Amino acid sequence: MTKNISKDKCSNCGVTSSKTFWDFEDGSVLCDKCCNKIGNDWEARNKNKEDKSKIKKHGEKHYVITIKKIYLYLIGGLIIILLSFFIISSIVSNVTEQDIKSITNTRAVTSYEDVSTKLSFSNYLNDIYTSDKQNATLNGYLKRNIEGNRDTGTQVVSIVDDYGNEIRLEGQYPEFKRILPDIGKTGNLYSIRGTFKRTYKRLEFQVDNISLYQREPNKKIEVNNVETYTEEIITNRTHPKHPSV
Protein backbone atom coordinates (compact mmCIF):
# COMPACT_ATOMS: atom_id res chain seq x y z
CA MET A 1 0.00 0.00 0.00
CA THR A 2 1.30 3.46 -1.09
CA LYS A 3 0.12 6.97 -0.33
CA ASN A 4 -1.26 8.90 -3.35
CA ILE A 5 -1.41 12.68 -2.90
CA SER A 6 -3.04 13.33 -6.30
CA LYS A 7 -6.74 13.53 -6.95
CA ASP A 8 -8.37 10.19 -7.44
CA LYS A 9 -11.54 8.24 -6.86
CA CYS A 10 -12.17 5.77 -3.98
CA SER A 11 -12.80 2.29 -5.29
CA ASN A 12 -14.97 1.57 -2.26
CA CYS A 13 -17.25 4.62 -1.77
CA GLY A 14 -16.57 6.51 -5.05
CA VAL A 15 -15.65 9.75 -3.30
CA THR A 16 -13.26 12.07 -5.11
CA SER A 17 -12.90 14.74 -2.45
CA SER A 18 -10.69 12.85 0.04
CA LYS A 19 -7.57 14.63 1.17
CA THR A 20 -5.58 11.50 0.57
CA PHE A 21 -6.08 8.40 -1.51
CA TRP A 22 -4.26 5.12 -0.92
CA ASP A 23 -3.08 2.91 -3.76
CA PHE A 24 -3.02 -0.91 -3.18
CA GLU A 25 -1.10 -3.58 -5.04
CA ASP A 26 -4.29 -5.09 -6.47
CA GLY A 27 -4.94 -1.74 -8.26
CA SER A 28 -7.68 -0.52 -5.90
CA VAL A 29 -7.74 3.02 -4.48
CA LEU A 30 -9.22 3.92 -1.10
CA CYS A 31 -9.92 7.26 0.49
CA ASP A 32 -8.77 8.06 3.99
CA LYS A 33 -12.12 7.16 5.46
CA CYS A 34 -12.43 3.80 3.68
CA CYS A 35 -8.77 3.06 4.24
CA ASN A 36 -9.14 3.65 8.00
CA LYS A 37 -12.36 1.70 8.12
CA ILE A 38 -11.01 -1.27 6.16
CA GLY A 39 -7.81 -1.13 8.18
CA ASN A 40 -9.76 -1.21 11.43
CA ASP A 41 -11.80 -4.10 10.13
CA TRP A 42 -8.60 -5.91 9.17
CA GLU A 43 -7.08 -5.27 12.57
CA ALA A 44 -10.32 -6.43 14.18
CA ARG A 45 -10.30 -9.58 12.07
CA ASN A 46 -6.65 -10.20 12.88
CA LYS A 47 -7.29 -9.57 16.55
CA ASN A 48 -10.27 -11.90 16.41
CA LYS A 49 -8.10 -14.57 14.86
CA GLU A 50 -5.45 -14.08 17.53
CA ASP A 51 -8.10 -14.23 20.24
CA LYS A 52 -9.49 -17.42 18.76
CA SER A 53 -6.01 -18.86 18.55
CA LYS A 54 -5.40 -17.96 22.18
CA ILE A 55 -8.76 -19.40 23.14
CA LYS A 56 -7.93 -22.59 21.27
CA LYS A 57 -4.51 -22.85 22.89
CA HIS A 58 -5.97 -22.08 26.28
CA GLY A 59 -8.71 -24.63 25.69
CA GLU A 60 -6.19 -27.32 24.77
CA LYS A 61 -4.13 -26.47 27.83
CA HIS A 62 -7.24 -26.57 29.99
CA TYR A 63 -8.20 -29.93 28.46
CA VAL A 64 -4.77 -31.38 29.26
CA ILE A 65 -4.95 -30.07 32.82
CA THR A 66 -8.45 -31.53 33.20
CA ILE A 67 -7.28 -34.99 32.02
CA LYS A 68 -4.38 -34.89 34.46
CA LYS A 69 -6.74 -33.96 37.27
CA ILE A 70 -9.04 -36.84 36.36
CA TYR A 71 -6.10 -39.28 36.47
CA LEU A 72 -4.99 -37.87 39.81
CA TYR A 73 -8.53 -38.16 41.18
CA LEU A 74 -8.79 -41.75 39.95
CA ILE A 75 -5.44 -42.75 41.43
CA GLY A 76 -6.19 -40.94 44.68
CA GLY A 77 -9.63 -42.57 44.87
CA LEU A 78 -8.14 -46.03 44.25
CA ILE A 79 -5.56 -45.49 46.99
CA ILE A 80 -8.27 -44.37 49.40
CA ILE A 81 -10.39 -47.43 48.56
CA LEU A 82 -7.47 -49.80 49.11
CA LEU A 83 -6.50 -48.16 52.39
CA SER A 84 -10.12 -48.28 53.54
CA PHE A 85 -10.30 -51.98 52.64
CA PHE A 86 -7.17 -52.84 54.63
CA ILE A 87 -8.23 -50.73 57.60
CA ILE A 88 -11.72 -52.25 57.69
CA SER A 89 -10.29 -55.77 57.25
CA SER A 90 -7.90 -55.27 60.16
CA ILE A 91 -10.72 -53.94 62.34
CA VAL A 92 -13.38 -56.56 61.63
CA SER A 93 -11.03 -59.58 61.19
CA ASN A 94 -11.24 -62.52 63.59
CA VAL A 95 -8.44 -63.97 65.70
CA THR A 96 -8.12 -67.71 66.44
CA GLU A 97 -6.50 -68.77 69.70
CA GLN A 98 -5.70 -72.23 71.00
CA ASP A 99 -6.50 -73.44 74.51
CA ILE A 100 -4.22 -76.33 75.49
CA LYS A 101 -5.09 -78.48 78.51
CA SER A 102 -3.07 -81.42 79.83
CA ILE A 103 -5.09 -84.33 81.20
CA THR A 104 -3.63 -87.36 82.97
CA ASN A 105 -5.29 -90.68 82.07
CA THR A 106 -4.61 -94.35 82.60
CA ARG A 107 -4.82 -97.23 80.18
CA ALA A 108 -4.33 -100.97 80.26
CA VAL A 109 -1.16 -102.18 78.57
CA THR A 110 -0.63 -105.83 77.71
CA SER A 111 2.90 -107.16 77.38
CA TYR A 112 4.48 -110.56 77.05
CA GLU A 113 7.34 -111.68 79.25
CA ASP A 114 9.60 -114.67 78.94
CA VAL A 115 9.19 -117.24 81.67
CA SER A 116 12.54 -118.59 82.72
CA THR A 117 12.91 -122.35 82.48
CA LYS A 118 16.03 -122.37 84.61
CA LEU A 119 15.97 -124.94 87.38
CA SER A 120 16.20 -123.62 90.93
CA PHE A 121 15.98 -125.09 94.43
CA SER A 122 15.86 -121.69 96.16
CA ASN A 123 12.24 -122.06 97.30
CA TYR A 124 13.15 -125.18 99.27
CA LEU A 125 16.53 -124.02 100.58
CA ASN A 126 15.33 -120.61 101.76
CA ASP A 127 13.15 -122.23 104.42
CA ILE A 128 14.40 -125.71 105.23
CA TYR A 129 12.07 -125.99 108.22
CA THR A 130 8.98 -125.63 106.06
CA SER A 131 10.42 -127.96 103.41
CA ASP A 132 11.13 -130.70 105.97
CA LYS A 133 9.13 -133.91 105.34
CA GLN A 134 7.51 -132.54 102.17
CA ASN A 135 7.09 -134.78 99.14
CA ALA A 136 8.50 -133.15 96.03
CA THR A 137 10.04 -133.68 92.62
CA LEU A 138 13.47 -132.18 91.95
CA ASN A 139 14.82 -131.63 88.44
CA GLY A 140 18.53 -131.10 87.88
CA TYR A 141 21.95 -132.63 87.25
CA LEU A 142 23.27 -135.54 89.31
CA LYS A 143 26.66 -135.10 90.87
CA ARG A 144 29.13 -137.44 92.64
CA ASN A 145 31.98 -136.03 94.72
CA ILE A 146 34.19 -137.05 97.65
CA GLU A 147 34.08 -135.25 100.98
CA GLY A 148 37.41 -135.32 102.73
CA ASN A 149 40.46 -137.26 101.54
CA ARG A 150 40.07 -138.88 98.14
CA ASP A 151 41.22 -142.25 99.43
CA THR A 152 39.46 -142.25 102.79
CA GLY A 153 36.73 -139.61 102.23
CA THR A 154 33.00 -140.15 102.00
CA GLN A 155 31.21 -140.43 98.66
CA VAL A 156 28.38 -137.89 98.33
CA VAL A 157 25.63 -137.91 95.71
CA SER A 158 23.58 -134.73 95.16
CA ILE A 159 21.30 -133.02 92.69
CA VAL A 160 22.35 -129.59 91.32
CA ASP A 161 20.22 -126.81 89.83
CA ASP A 162 21.21 -124.25 87.17
CA TYR A 163 22.50 -121.86 89.86
CA GLY A 164 24.85 -124.34 91.53
CA ASN A 165 22.63 -125.05 94.54
CA GLU A 166 23.04 -128.63 95.76
CA ILE A 167 20.75 -130.92 97.78
CA ARG A 168 22.28 -134.15 99.07
CA LEU A 169 20.53 -137.35 98.00
CA GLU A 170 20.00 -140.21 100.47
CA GLY A 171 19.19 -143.86 99.78
CA GLN A 172 20.90 -146.75 98.06
CA TYR A 173 19.17 -146.29 94.74
CA PRO A 174 20.48 -148.95 92.32
CA GLU A 175 20.36 -146.67 89.28
CA PHE A 176 23.03 -144.37 90.73
CA LYS A 177 25.83 -146.75 89.79
CA ARG A 178 24.71 -146.80 86.16
CA ILE A 179 24.10 -143.10 85.57
CA LEU A 180 26.57 -141.34 87.90
CA PRO A 181 30.06 -140.48 86.69
CA ASP A 182 33.04 -141.46 88.82
CA ILE A 183 33.51 -137.83 89.86
CA GLY A 184 31.63 -134.76 88.65
CA LYS A 185 28.26 -133.89 87.17
CA THR A 186 26.11 -135.64 84.61
CA GLY A 187 25.50 -134.08 81.21
CA ASN A 188 21.82 -135.07 81.24
CA LEU A 189 19.05 -133.76 83.41
CA TYR A 190 17.15 -136.04 85.74
CA SER A 191 13.84 -135.88 87.61
CA ILE A 192 13.84 -137.31 91.12
CA ARG A 193 10.81 -137.92 93.30
CA GLY A 194 11.13 -138.27 97.02
CA THR A 195 10.83 -136.63 100.45
CA PHE A 196 12.77 -133.81 102.09
CA LYS A 197 14.54 -134.53 105.38
CA ARG A 198 16.16 -131.87 107.50
CA THR A 199 19.36 -132.85 109.31
CA TYR A 200 20.26 -130.06 111.70
CA LYS A 201 20.80 -127.07 109.36
CA ARG A 202 21.06 -129.10 106.16
CA LEU A 203 18.26 -130.21 103.84
CA GLU A 204 18.53 -133.67 102.34
CA PHE A 205 16.30 -135.58 99.93
CA GLN A 206 15.25 -139.23 100.26
CA VAL A 207 15.03 -140.70 96.75
CA ASP A 208 12.04 -142.83 95.73
CA ASN A 209 12.28 -142.72 91.95
CA ILE A 210 14.56 -141.31 89.23
CA SER A 211 14.07 -140.71 85.49
CA LEU A 212 15.43 -138.61 82.64
CA TYR A 213 14.12 -135.06 82.39
CA GLN A 214 13.56 -132.94 79.27
CA ARG A 215 13.87 -129.21 79.82
CA GLU A 216 10.78 -127.27 78.72
CA PRO A 217 11.19 -124.56 76.05
CA ASN A 218 10.94 -120.93 77.06
CA LYS A 219 7.41 -119.69 77.55
CA LYS A 220 5.80 -116.29 77.25
CA ILE A 221 3.14 -115.15 79.65
CA GLU A 222 0.71 -112.30 79.18
CA VAL A 223 1.16 -109.49 81.68
CA ASN A 224 -1.44 -106.77 82.06
CA ASN A 225 -0.27 -103.49 83.53
CA VAL A 226 -1.85 -100.07 84.05
CA GLU A 227 0.04 -97.21 82.43
CA THR A 228 -0.33 -93.52 83.20
CA TYR A 229 -0.01 -91.05 80.34
CA THR A 230 -0.60 -87.35 79.72
CA GLU A 231 -2.85 -86.22 76.90
CA GLU A 232 -3.06 -82.71 75.47
CA ILE A 233 -6.50 -81.45 74.41
CA ILE A 234 -6.39 -78.51 71.99
CA THR A 235 -9.47 -76.30 71.57
CA ASN A 236 -9.61 -73.58 68.91
CA ARG A 237 -11.40 -70.40 70.00
CA THR A 238 -12.25 -67.66 67.45
CA HIS A 239 -13.22 -64.11 68.43
CA PRO A 240 -13.16 -60.63 66.80
CA LYS A 241 -9.82 -58.86 66.85
CA HIS A 242 -11.54 -55.71 68.17
CA PRO A 243 -14.68 -56.80 70.07
CA SER A 244 -15.86 -53.21 70.62
CA VAL A 245 -16.12 -52.53 66.87
Q: What is the mean pLDDT of residues 210-216?
A: 89
Q: What is the pLDDT of residue 116?
A: 74
**Of 16, 47, 49, 43, nearest in space to 30 by CA:** 16
- Residue 42's pLDDT band, with cuts at 50, 70 and 90, is low
Q: What is the pLDDT of residue 137?
A: 94
Q: Pick the residue with more confidence: 220 or 1? A: 220
- Residue 51's pLDDT band, with cuts at 50, 70 and 90, is low
Is 92 a residue whose pLDDT tops 90?
Answer: no
Domains and CATH numbers, the chain: 2-68 (no CATH), 118-215 (2.40.50.200)
- Residue 5's pLDDT band, with cuts at 50, 70 and 90, is very low
Strand partners, 20: none
Cβ-proximal residues to 89 (8 Å cutoff; 6+ apart), any chain:
none
Is 28 a residue whose pLDDT tops 80?
Answer: no
Count of other CB atoms within 10 angstroms of residue 162: 16
- Residue 16's pLDDT band, with cuts at 50, 70 and 90, is confident
Percentage of the residues of the chain whose pLDDT score is greater than 70: 77
CB 233 within 8 A of CB 168: no
SS3 label, residue 196: strand
Q: What is the pLDDT of residue 139?
A: 94
- For residue 190, the 8-state DSSP code is E
CA distances from 56 to 60, 61, 63 (A): 6, 9, 10
Length of the chain counted residue by residue: 245
